[in-house]
Amino acid sequence: MTSLDDRPTTAPSLIPALLLGGALPALVMASALEFLPLAGVSLEVLAVVLLAAMFAGAYRARHVLLAPAYVIRIPLLMALSVLVAATFPLLEGTQPRNYAVFGSVAPTLMGWALFLWMLGTREVDAGRDWLAWEPPRWALPALLVAAMATIATVHWLAVGTRAMVSDEVIYLLQGKWIFQRDYAWHLDPDLLPFFSMRKLGVTPSGGLYGQYTPGWPALLALFDLIGLRWWSGAILGTASVWATVRLGTLLYSRAAGLIAGALLLIQPTFLLLHAGYMAHPATILSLALAAVWLIESESRAGWERTWRWLAVGVAIAVAVTVRTLTGVALGASLGLWLVVRQRMPVGTLVRCAATVIVGALPIAGWFLHYNWATNGDALRVSYQAMHGTGFNLGFGTRGFTGFNEQMQRVPVPVTFTPRDAVSHLLQRLASINLNFLPYALLLPVTVLFAAHRHRVRWLVLAVFSILPVLYFFYWGSEIRFYSEYLPFLLPWLAAGCLAVMRERPRLGGVIVAAAVAGSAVLMVPTRWTSIPLDEPWVRSAYTGSPSRFAAFATLEQMQRDEGKLLVFVQEQGPLLDVLLDRLYLFNIEGLSSPILAVRDMGERNAALMARFPDRIPLLARDNGRLKPVTINRLPAAR
């Protein structure tokens, strides 16, 4: 620990430099690309803006660009990143082609322009050992309070008291059913067709159960028991911020940990995943905690070490029951990482593995029982029970199943080819570069870090590549599948910025300031709605489904004014239960719910209306995400 005389000061003179050298350029450059087109600016004008930004950045950094650390690496990595960004829209055949390629390449190049601008930052002071700086004791509690307030606010603004993603609706329903017989909702057989949905299956005993693994619904149920289900995302997200701070502290320093936690809190993808009731908050936290306990165990002995190993087993088992592939892959990566670190002898590593397995056994046993109770096979997860091989890894015909007009479950096939796999991989790489250190700074800063002796450890990178390798063979691909890496990546990035500040304090600081500003830009839905480059709040159900929010509000108001409702939901077409997926949330209290949302069965509706004569029958027709849902009264059954 450094003495008070050796510690860097707070340096008020740095603040204007951070704002002018990092935050303001990031806001101007990213906003020029993201928001100018809202006024009808053409791609040609945007290209000129982009070229001007590139030229300005290169000119400002001219005094360092010819240094050996940059003269080859920057052009090489810039060309590689542009190639990645340009290739996947071409492989996918996204139209119009020029718009698609520009929309993918331009953010990547703007990130390089911003990096070059910052690289040209002029230093006025000698560097200090910022990694050894000790933040004030109030900093961590203040960060955690800010985390709770921020995530809760985002949650309220995004969904209020509802759930808008169909996955979230099923999670909440499964959470309600988790304490019931066979973990299912049991109805009379004549009611099942009305309440059947593509993401619901039927247990051997005749109950309805959800398609998702039970870990996240069980956690939601526990939060519900203590009246904190609405707060679940905020609580888990705040705990993830703490775990990231702790992991950064263990691996680097308290300063690196604190900056990493702050970067996680403002990370757009992280906030998006905590806006509703998606399962990722549970896996992000459980795997981060597993890493913390493993690293702590390296310097402990006796019971202090044993309980941490048992807790690691519990945490990894929780991750497996929440997101099975993610939990298995990253659980294996954590074990291999411990081996690569070489802090414990082989015998201790063997005892660690055995103890972790013991810790995982109770939850693993419950997971097997859940599978057996719901689909009759302990080794088959719900996805496979409902959709066959549609969600398996590998090329060929994949996809899911849905109900046709005769209420038969039929495949909705998706052909998955190696070409698709390559396109998905390139798309994720370009999107991760844009999102994980906004604005598109992730790859550029690796050049800077290498120049300051903070390099990528390729063996560690290989150890943590198990999950991306597996996802290469999976037909679905989204950036959220990699969100569990954030607590591991951000401490490395924070430590890199502090390493740069040893020699170039302003440059290291403006990287952090630019990331803060870039995160703010990506928190706003922007123009690139038709580009498959992941921008968190673009195409989001929370910001792009006004008609469905309005349908919730209309039905709730009708129920308050007129009494119990029976809502028959008519989709735009068969197989995809798009509106029923969302409105099914009304059924969370069972048949006693004030509003029941059921499938429109045409002439058979009269039988259900007769079954519930005290309810006002309505027909809700889905007209897409933007057009209002049509809601009409139906004549009561005679």
Q: How far does the chain reach from its first CA to its final CA, in angstroms?
A: 82
Alpha carbon distance 613, 625 (integer Å): 32
Residues 6+ apart with CB under 8 A from 51: none
Return the structure tokens found at 459.
């063996």
Find tokens 């792009």 and name the residue. 544
Tell me what percent of the residues of the chain surpass a pLDDT of 70: 95
pLDDT tens per residue, range 431-464: 999 999 999 999 999 999 999 999 999 999 999 9
Q: Can you tell me the mean pLDDT for 156-173?
A: 92
Residue 376: other Cβ atoms inside 10 A: 12
- So what's the pLDDT on residue 7? 43
Residue 333 half-sphere exposure, CB side, CA atoms within 13 Å? Answer: 24
- So what's the pLDDT on residue 624? 82
Alpha carbon distance 448, 316 (integer Å): 34
Instruction: Burial-class residue 130 by CB neighbours within 10 Å (0-12, 13-18, 19+).
Output: buried
Out of 79-88, 348-357, 401-410, 437-446, pick the least confident.
401-410
Q: Can you tell me the mean pLDDT for 409-437?
A: 94
Listed residue (232, 235, 150) closest to 520, CA to CA: 150
pLDDT tens per residue, range 229-276: 999 999 999 999 999 999 999 999 999 999 999 999 999 999 999 999
- So what's the pLDDT on residue 637? 60
Angle among Cα 319, 321, 322 to the nearest 5 degrees reads 65
Provide Rg for the chain, Cα atoms.
26
pLDDT tens per residue, range 568-618: 999 988 788 889 999 999 999 999 999 999 999 999 999 999 999 999 999
- So what's the pLDDT on residue 532? 66
